[in-house]
Chains A and B, each alone.
Chain A
């Protein structure tokens, strides 16, 4: 009963026969070996599995792989481009926006989504819009600072879209 799906993940075309019940996060992690996207809960609360599907930040544990058929997906492995970090990655590094790093990929993908909708958010807006992403280490303070810093860098560079994917980060 497998169904064939075609998706473009981090810029690379993929075609796989998957079980209809396979979650998108497991397709990314197990089928494509893109293990940067993490599973932190099973109820859609924690946001560790956040990726972008057709430019929207979504929780990949709340979507079936077959529902993603035909879409373009960006995971954390596809954030950097041309050998340079995405501004959100740079800011998380510069401002100590991560500790154990487990929530970080999802947090960054959600943050990129926020900045796409609102390139100049207030701290309160960032906090509100990160509500769906939990972090147990940082107390969020440096995450908020990192998102602000990335926002400023992206405004300066005139980047309004999240970085497009590049090859070499597409898993196996």
Chain B
């Protein structure tokens, strides 16, 4: 199929007109007749025993319809299920009850719920619930939680170990023992709060007559929600319709399923009327999943001339108080460990991961999910190795890159990288940044006592999440295929149904481009429907940069079937055989006679009228396809960050940020650039600003936007973007996915730049976030001659 007109065009987004006029329909915008409002009382303690809950005053409060505690749910609402059961590990999954039974295990653990006429009244009534708690000792740090004598969260998980999971290729221990050079570093991946601008929430409407549930929920994967809540609330899956139309950002946090949603459904069933529950931001900070929160001990071995021979990683992953109903256990294991070797030929590799329970909000997927942690680790280690060897970081990377002619390439992570040219993106980057020129500028700056630095990140990610077989092998309790229906109406307009669930990524436009391209219809005539299980038979949602790579390919396959059928009808109408019919830009004609053509719109009309179809042809022009890729995709690239660190204050200023990415075939460059900008901003957020901090009692002291820095417009620099294009060889769009690229690539570019800037002080590493105080302390300690490795706070 010719890739011509619409691929590569920056078509303006189809979703924007409703969003710029205030006519979107986010979950909180839904109002149903007779709707009442739910609010949830959450534990203010990191760890506590509940002695008694007195709801009498709340129940008596005017306007209150119901108050629920754990005992009301007994036998009616099941605990939230773990959906990622790691094989070959000793994973222990304690029940995660929708309302806490006897013990609360993190600040934000749900204790009771109120349903009232209006959200203000519901909040008033929460204040009238008396809970008698005994606070218990808490532990919040993943390394401390494994120590002897640490407070224990769950009886079934001694020493708070949720799982111990291992991965190895070759013999890393021997490589390290026999190495000419070894380096070692502990890295802290600080805890982050996803902070989608729209908080979580749901509107549930139970029809007691038909026993059907209509659920509006802000989700990245409404079909899985249908399945999960059928299990949790005991409603047959075919009696549930889930709608997630406009979703105000997710970044992974809306993959998971939440007890609050199950409670909303339960309340609607109990009351026989629609119930709405919407988190406020404070609630979102404690009740919606967190990301990262891992500690990594890394060791690398190499030859003196810079060839990496081995890598060993021990990871402590903070799972929070429970395993979430989402990708939680998959993030620090499969999604991290397999991609740690990055762009490099590393023969010996071992990774041990401990999942650890703590008295904190559960962790799960936050943009990149495991892969930013992996890219950070390997790219920091390569820079540390360069420093150790006194070699240029560019040289060390060159020496160890998987060569462009080696693809497909099986890595030490046992992944089969599809295609790549790592040297190509790095060369382009070095040219854009004028690497040699920068070195001269840096030398001059150093002479003036200024701290100027450049950081590189050459990354590869595993994206386009599929195939289902791999999902099964990894213990993910779901599939990763996609489904698409392309329907041509009698008027020639096109409806596309996709099982992916975009929420800002722009696939209403990208997918319309794919269909317009293939069928030769105007892009304006294509309408993409997503996020409605009543309209779309099945799909696994939007995450893991899979939407265009997997969902887009499913659409192309449906387009092919449409063309095949339409061609037969065109042949019939043109009185020719199908083999003699050509199809070009929406017109069918007998080869060599393009002047007499049937448009695809006219074929759609006659397929729908069905007055005169060829023998054996069924009416209508609608095709569905199911697509399960044979492999992941592997986008890659090279990013550079130039910083100056203020000698007096430690403040980091980004002077330049350049992203050279290769995400395969680009369908809409404007949208792809936008994804890179946003991804990089989140990576810079982790590198410089964001940090969720608990005190020792399990109190989240950065529990609002007052205390937690979601970067604002002054804190994110202008981002220069450039691309190379290496098509994905195993899918039908050639696209590899771009949703996570920026985040996976960027944090280490910033940190490498800061460490490079501070090299004259002998600083080797500072843990994120590189806030002025932390950098200043490291600089002061270094100046005092105390710099030896770890210099974080």
Residues of A within 8 A of B (CB): 19, 21-22, 29, 33-43, 45-46, 48, 75-77, 79-80, 85, 89, 92-94, 96, 98-105, 108, 123, 126-128, 130-144
Contact = CB atoms under 8 A, between A and B. Distances in A.
A140 B22 contact: no
A39 B28 CA distance: 9
Interface string B19-59: 11111101011010000000000000000000000000000
Interface stretch (B244-252, B510-518, B559-567, B591-599): B244-252
Interface string B648-675: 0000000000000000000000110110
Given A19-B120, A100-B248, A144 B713 contact: yes
Contacts of B197: 38, 40, 46, 48, 100, 102-103, 134-137
B678 interface: yes
Given A136-B195, A142-B674, A89 B249 contact: no
Nearest to A106: B197
Interface stretch (B8-16, B164-172, B454-462, B548-556): B8-16
B249 A139 contact: no
Contacts of A101: 15-16, 19-20, 24, 246, 248, 504
Contacts of A98: 16, 19-20
A143 to B, nearest CB: 7
Contact of B16 (A37, A39, A92): A92
A141 B29 CA distance: 28
A133 B248 CA distance: 15
B198 A141 contact: no
Q: Is the interface of B mostly helix, strand, loop or mixed?
A: loop
Contacts of B448: none
A157 to B, nearest CB: 18
A94 B17 CA distance: 11
Q: Is the interface of A mostly helix, strand, loop or mixed?
A: loop
B31 A33 contact: yes
Contacts of B718: 123, 141
Interface in B475-515: 503-506
B248 A102 contact: yes
A42 B280 contact: yes
Nearest to B19: A101
B706 A99 contact: no
A18 B728 CA distance: 58
Interface of B: 12-13, 15-17, 19-24, 26, 28-29, 31, 120, 195-199, 246-249, 251, 280-282, 503-506, 670-671, 673-674, 677-682, 704-706, 710, 712-714, 716, 718-719, 742
Contacts of B680: 139
27 contacts: A21-B120, A36-B21, A36-B22, A36-B23, A38-B197, A39-B280, A40-B197, A41-B705, A43-B282, A46-B705, A48-B197, A96-B674, A98-B19, A100-B249, A101-B16, A101-B246, A102-B198, A102-B249, A126-B713, A128-B713, A131-B714, A135-B197, A138-B678, A141-B677, A141-B716, A141-B718, A143-B713
A135 to B, nearest CB: 7
Contacts of A132: 712
A39 B271 CA distance: 27
A42 B283 CA distance: 10
Contacts of A75: 22
Contacts of B719: 139, 141
Nearest to A147: B713
A123 B504 CA distance: 24
B31 to A, nearest CB: 7
A136 B21 contact: no
Given A21-B120, A102-B248, 6 more contacts: A22-B120, A89-B20, A96-B670, A101-B246, A132-B712, A136-B249
A42 B248 contact: no
A29 to B, nearest CB: 8
Of A45, A75, A123, which is in contact with the most chain B CB atoms at under 10 Å from its CB? A45
A79 B13 CA distance: 20
A21 B119 CA distance: 12
B21 A76 contact: yes
Nearest to B670: A96
Nearest to A36: B22
Contacts of A139: 677-681, 716, 719, 742
B684 to A, nearest CB: 8
Contacts of A76: 20-22
Given A76-B22, A140-B681, A127 B17 contact: no
B710 A93 contact: no
Contacts of B15: 101
A136 B20 contact: no
B678 A131 contact: no
B358 to A, nearest CB: 26
A98 B197 CA distance: 12
A127 to B, nearest CB: 4
Contacts of B249: 99-100, 102, 136-137
Nearest to B684: A139
B281 A42 contact: yes
| Shortest 4 CB-CB contacts between residues of A and residues of B | A36-B22, A102-B248, A100-B504, A101-B19
Contacts of A134: 197, 705, 710, 712
Contacts of A103: 197, 248
Contacts of A39: 28, 280
A19 to B, nearest CB: 7
Contacts of A41: 280-281, 704-705
